Amino acid sequence: MAEKKNADKFQATRTGEHESADKFKREFAFGVVVLGTEAGCGKTIFMTGLSAALRDEGFPTRAIKPFVLGNRRDAESELAFISSITHTPINYPIVIIDKPTAVQDSNWQQAAMMTTSKQHLTFVEMPGSPATPLAYEQTGAGTMGSTWKDSADFACDLGLPCILIAKHNKDALEKIMLAASYLHSREARLVGVGTVETSEFGAHNELKMTKSELELAIKTKAKAHYLGAIEFSPSISVPRVNQGNLIKVTSAGIDLLHVLRSLGAPASLTKADSIP
């Protein structure tokens, strides 16, 4: 029974062939903002695995992380992990958020330009949760003002679709609902939710819902598609820049076609299409 439950939790439901990569690039390329319910919830793993899996299918994707919370050494590991697996060059400005005024308006605009490139489907990971403050208003005296921009603002400013990521554990649904409510209050376009097992956990911390039950809850309450879950693998490590079997577990747990449908690719596009 345990094996059946685990299979139900992580097996992606294949619904058809993937769209034509060439036509997707020509007509449907845009940016996607990857947000999390909290720091350390698996955003980097999900974004990197999804981008690399779609790239292996022939879709022009890339993944970037222009704003990083924490110290420079951890940031370098995260960026190297993303770049080595997705083949995205780190040729864009990076801001290490180590103080409240680290992110300037120019940094914000540079990240926006990178994300909205028309040559790729660009996934951009934002730090923390949707409500994590990033860019504070500054007064004429150079002090912090009373307003700020948070991670959700990046998606809202650009009108880009969002994918929300949560840890696949007993608190997943609660945290997904809280983050989704905030995004809806901001009128952000939440198109999908994914979950990631970030560690091996015992029965006390296990999500007591099947994939189907979680999918129904998210669709009903969060008004978004459940994209699937990435199972924990000890061979995958962001700090050690070890990709292990990331693409394999991503393809096994995430329905790639469903992701493309959620992002607006029309059902008429398939690999069988003839591209002039």
Q: Which pLDDT tens digit goes with each residue over 13-46?
A: 333 344 444 544 444 447 899 999 999 999 999 9
For 183-239, what is each residue's pLDDT tens digit? Answer: 999 999 999 999 999 886 666 678 888 889 999 999 999 999 999 999 999 999 999
Determine contact, residues 225/28, Cβ cutoff 8 Å.
no
Whether 152 maps to a domain, the answer reads yes
Whether 43 maps to a domain, the answer reads yes
Count of the separate structural domains present in the chain: 1
To the nearest 10°, the Cα dihedral for 248, 238, 39, 214?
10
Whether 276 maps to a domain, the answer reads no
Query: By residue range, what is the domain housing residue 200?
Result: 21-134+145-262
pLDDT at 4 over 50: no
What is the residue-averaged pLDDT of the chain? 83
pTM score of the predicted model:
0.84
Count CA atoms closer than 13 A to 178's CA, side-chain side.
12
CATH of the domain at 157: 3.40.50.300
Residue type, 214: L
Whether 12 maps to a domain, the answer reads no
